[in-house]
Amino acid sequence: MKAPALATVIACAFLCATAAAEPAQPNIILIVTDDQGYADAGFRNPGVHTPNLDKLVASGVELTRFYAAPVCSPTRAGLLTGLYPVRFGMQRAVNRPHSEVGLPEDLVTLPEALGAAGYRERHMIGKWHLGNMRRAQLPMNHGFTHQYGPYCSGIDYFDHTRLGERDFHRNQRPVREDGYYTDLLSDEVVRIIDEHDGDDPFFIYLPHGAPHTPLQAPEEEIERYSHLPRQRATFLAMITIIDHGLGRIFEALERKGITDDTLIVFFSDNGGSRFGDNSPLRGAKGSLHEGGIRVLAAASWPARIPAGEVREIPGSYIDIMPTLLDAAGAPADADVQLDGRSLLPDWTGRPASEPPAFELFSFYQTRRPNGESLSLIEGDWKLHRQGPPILDGPRADNAEIRLYHLGRDIGEENDLANEHPDRVEAMLDKLVDFRKLRPYGGVPPMIDPEPDGWKPFPNWDPVE
Ligand SMILES: [Ca+2]
């Protein structure tokens, strides 16, 4: 376990790295979908129409063991900081609309570090979900140079409202746009690429709101799946609409002649929701079983990453920042203590050395009794603890402690805890240390309801 990062050290290290940056920096497009299942793509299930996602995977590496947090906000917090969000109170659950919690201002974010590495254009196009009650929490106060989309999760796909107020913004001012939410985001990305001028690389972060609820899509898109139950049909139509946009983004890159020099990373922000398909994994969104955290993922960069290969080597959302900085020629300095590591050598197929043993801590908590979930993956081993707060006693009578071997048991059916008591004890100790990184405060357990009578700001536009 590494010590909490010091923002000042990080800032200095990234600024210092600028001078040594390689000249050929790729354009970077980071696409995150919302609640798409592990098998909700054509290349895993021919019944799902995603020809462009299939093409993306074929043009690069399919990542079969890529992990996210089990719900929306923590994945976003981790990918933008390279840190376990537990360190700053954002790993337990999602950020609710009335939450006063946001990304701490003193953390160096991915767009800030890319800015220091020479990326002048840093676009945030989509769902933010990392604080909306104060202007200081908004994306352009965390390193993005342009913002478009909603601050909250779960807006209406047609009228763009949440809790009765329109939540759509351009450069952090309310805008009224006509169109289906997902299409508007794709349109904006295409416009950015078409209008991009010169040889400067750009960074686009495209966190789609779909296929998260509310389940809404134009009827003509649902029609393709009319043989399925209505909710599943709508969910898949929402994924197919993302895919249409992906196709238009590919065309824009081709028009500009920059396909080969563009790194596209794609993954779902958590496992598929109850409308998704996570087979062959157990569980879904909100669970620390593999179906909640092992997500659909791929990376493509024709100039550097081989096409059509599969990477089973594990990685996760906290690796995104060091990976993209590595691609930008600004690898994290040895003094920088991020929790993640660069996956680029694994993706390009040129690892300099044996990668370090994989370790991933996950955390989720609901308001139900015994609602704290913690898990630790070490290589193929996974310890899962469900129960009362671990800091009240890791071995509490009502705590369920399970040990699985993912290499032999991807479906997490065979509990091996009784056969490996020493391993269980050692992994439990690590879970306790992880949870101590922030024992108190932060985002409360799921679901923290809006207080009685609470109303959002008009147009979700924070006053200050
Ligand atoms: Ca999600």
pLDDT of residue 446: 93
Asked if 86 contacts 372 with a C-beta cutoff of 8 angstroms, the reply is no
Give pLDDT < 70 ranges for the chain. 1-23, 331-336
How far is Cα 231 from Cα 203, in angstroms, rounded to an integer? 34
pLDDT of residue 336: 67
How far is Cα 260 from Cα 284, in angstroms, rounded to an integer? 35
Asked if 9 contacts 336 with a C-beta cutoff of 8 angstroms, the reply is yes
CA of residue 363 to ligand 1 center, whole Å: 15
pLDDT of residue 286: 97
CA of residue 246 to ligand 1 center, whole Å: 19
CA of residue 424 to ligand 1 center, whole Å: 30
CA of residue 247 to ligand 1 center, whole Å: 23
Q: Yes or no: is domain 25-348 CATH 3.40.720.10?
A: yes
| Domain boundaries for CATH 3.30.1120.10 within the chain | 359-435
pLDDT of residue 255: 97
Nearest to 167 by CA among 464, 217, 176: 176
pLDDT of residue 260: 97
Retrieve residue 362's tokens: 């996950």
pLDDT of residue 356: 80
CA of residue 367 to ligand 1 center, whole Å: 19
CA of residue 157 to ligand 1 center, whole Å: 15
| Domain boundaries for CATH 3.40.720.10 within the chain | 25-348
CA of residue 154 to ligand 1 center, whole Å: 10
CA of residue 69 to ligand 1 center, whole Å: 9
Nearest to 389 by CA among 403, 402, 371: 371
Cis peptide before 306 (omega within 30 of 0): no
CA of residue 433 to ligand 1 center, whole Å: 27
Q: Match domain 359-435 to its CATH number in 3.30.1120.10, 3.40.50.2300, 1.10.510.10, 3.40.630.30.
A: 3.30.1120.10
pLDDT of residue 7: 41
